[in-house]
Structure 1
Amino acid sequence: MEGKSSLESTLPPGFRFHPTDEELILCYLRNRVISNPYPVSIISDVDIYKFNPWDLP
C-alpha cells in the first residue's frame, strides 16, 4: 500500500474506521459506485487474487 495521507497521519493511534451499515451504504459505497471521488482514499481497491488471505492489506 502507499504512504499515509495527511488525514491518516493526523488520526490518533488506534483509530478505527467503523461506520454503521447505513453510513457505509449511503455515504461511501453509493458514491463509489457512481464514481464520485473522495478527498482521502477511505476505501482502497485491493485485488484479492494477488494476495494470500493472511497477506491481505
Structure 2
Amino acid sequence: MIDEKMVIDRAYGVGLGINFNTRAGIFNVSFAAGSRLQSSLDFGNMKVHFGYVSLF
C-alpha cells in the first residue's frame, strides 16, 4: 500500500512597476519577488521585466 500525504503549499508575491512615456513610445520596468508559504521573500532573487510599446 502506498502512503499518501497531502501537502498544502501556497505561493505569494509582491511587485511594482513604472511606465515612462517618451516620444518613441512607452517603456515599462517591473520588479517582482515571490515565495512559498514555508520560506520568506528573497529580494536577492527578484524578477525584472522590461517592456516597450511602439507608438506610430
Query: Is the structural similarity TM-score above 0.5?
Result: no
Tell which structure's C-alpha radius of gyration is larger. 2
Q: TM-score, normalised by structure 1?
A: 0.17
Relative to the length of structure 2, the TM-score reads: 0.17
When you count helix as a share of all residues, which structure comes out higher? Answer: 1
Between 1 and 2, higher relative CO (CA 8 Å, sep ≥ 6) is seen in 1
